[in-house]
Copies of this chain bind each other. A is one copy, B any other.
């Protein structure tokens, strides 16, 4: 059996990444990697869904045992991704989706050269701004901060393997799926298939 892919996905908030992933994850062969954090759960957050909430001691134990793929400290809390679970899933042939911000993604790419990285873009910054304002829940200041952050993140998009522009949702989902399909058709990845075909002579 082929090892599953490690698919790293980043996007500025408001790009519809969540909706794309929701659709993609209907295929149960995917395993969605949930991040670990030491911060306390906020109201409504579910352990194992939004984050896996762990103690500071447990997090530092995982670090010392070299079981974190990447982690960062932010406002006195740890955030990170466990390596051992991802590896286990991949060994079982499941494709792992890692939704992660840019800096973490770049770290993962360095550590796992076989990771497939996808950056989801809005059709334009104007459209992103319109989408963020449409929510109507945030002040102008917060929206402007988000936009500035989005533009900063988008400047790293060319460091990813693939770019998916979320203009029409269906097209973006099709693009996303085409990337995964094509990755599995790469001669390196399809080596077992190749051996199989030639062997059955």
Contacts and interface: CB of A to CB of B under 8 A. Distances in A.
A122 B197 contact: yes
A163 B194 contact: yes
A75 B194 CA distance: 32
Stoichiometry, copies per complex: 2
A121 B185 CA distance: 12
Given A157-B194, A197-B122, A200-B125, A178 B185 contact: yes
A61 interface: no
30 contacts: A121-B193, A124-B197, A124-B200, A124-B201, A125-B200, A125-B201, A126-B201, A151-B201, A154-B198, A155-B198, A158-B191, A158-B194, A159-B187, A160-B187, A161-B186, A162-B182, A162-B187, A163-B185, A165-B193, A165-B197, A174-B181, A175-B181, A177-B178, A178-B178, A178-B181, A178-B182, A178-B185, A179-B185, A181-B182, A182-B183
A162 B178 contact: no
Interface of A: 119, 121-126, 151, 154-155, 157-165, 174-175, 177-179, 181-183, 185-188, 190-191, 193-194, 196-198, 200-201
A175 B165 contact: no
Contacts of A158: 187-188, 191, 194
A16 to B, nearest CB: 14
A188 B188 CA distance: 21
A177 B179 CA distance: 11
A17 to B, nearest CB: 15
Residue with the highest number of chain B CB atoms closer than 10 Å, among A174, A186, A190: A190
Given A181-B178, A182-B178, A198 B151 contact: yes
Contacts of A191: 158
Contacts of A190: 162-163
